[in-house]
Amino acid sequence: MSDDELVVSTGSTDERVDPPLHGDEVAILRTFLTYHRETLRLKCAGLTQEQLAQQLPPSDISLGGLMKHLALVESQWFDYYFRDFPHAPPFDTMDWDADPDWEFDSARHDSPDELRALFDEAVARSDAVVDDALTRRGLDEESARVSPRTGETFTLRWILVHMIEEYSRHNGHADLIRESIDGQKGE
């Protein structure tokens, strides 16, 4: 898929592209991932800074925190693990040992536009990394860094499927949080 085929939601209208029912592996993985990135944008669209910081107790997750967390997750998988680059700013200078939930906690100080710009930049950078990798070994290409848990490398295939389930799980959080803010529901 080329960049100009990616649909970007600028507001709260649903412009998501459904994954092809019988596409090849690369096309279907990338469309599912794009679909879930779009879903998160939709779940965050049309809300104020205060609403994006709102929680559904007892959980302390907020929609703004989720958006900043997923910007970090994009950089963590595609920059840090896959190609052994530093995390993208502002995540490169954080002291994670001192403040492991920094992205969740600090998001409440960011405006909706800032959060969305950070997220969109992270997604664009990840897509460029994937585009580049696919000109080489494709989905079997292995990550430059290894899993701290198993010592193994990750294939690009694993990272893409993991990102789909990571986003889907967080979109499940977003479903309940958004419903509690203004009643908006929907897949």
Partner 1 sequence: MTQTFDKTTRTEAPLRADEVTALRGFLDYHRDTFRWKCAGLSQEQLAQAHPPSTMTLGGMMKHLALNEVGWFGSSLAGLPYPPPFDDVDWDADPDWEWRTAADDSPEDLRALYDDCVRRADAAVDEALAAGGLDAVSVEESSSDGPFSVRWILLHMIEEYARHNGQADLIRESVDGMTGE
CA dist 30 and 19 (Å) reads 8
Question: Of 6, 53, 56, 94, which lies in the binding site for partner 1, with binding defined by CB under 8 A?
Answer: 56
Q: Name the minimum Å distance from CB 166 to partner 1.
A: 8
CA dist 55 and 64 (Å) reads 10
Nearer to partner 1, 48 or 147 (CB): 147
Nearer to partner 1, 68 or 88 (CB): 68
The 8-class DSSP code of residue 5 comes to G
Is residue 32 within 8 Å of 19, Cβ to Cβ?
yes
Q: Is 148 in the site for partner 1 (CB under 8 A)?
A: no
| Residue 35 identity (one-letter amino acid) | Y
Q: Is 170 in the site for partner 1 (CB under 8 A)?
A: yes
Is residue 177 within 8 Å of 51, Cβ to Cβ?
no
Q: Is 72 in the site for partner 1 (CB under 8 A)?
A: no
Question: Of 29, 40, 47, 67, which lies in the binding site for partner 1, with binding defined by CB under 8 A?
Answer: 29
Burial class (CB in 10 A: 0-12, 13-18, 19+), 93: exposed
- Give the footprint of partner 1 on this chain (CB under 8 A): 19-23, 25, 28-29, 32, 36, 56, 58-59, 61, 139, 142, 147, 150, 152-155, 157-158, 161-162, 164-177, 179-180, 183
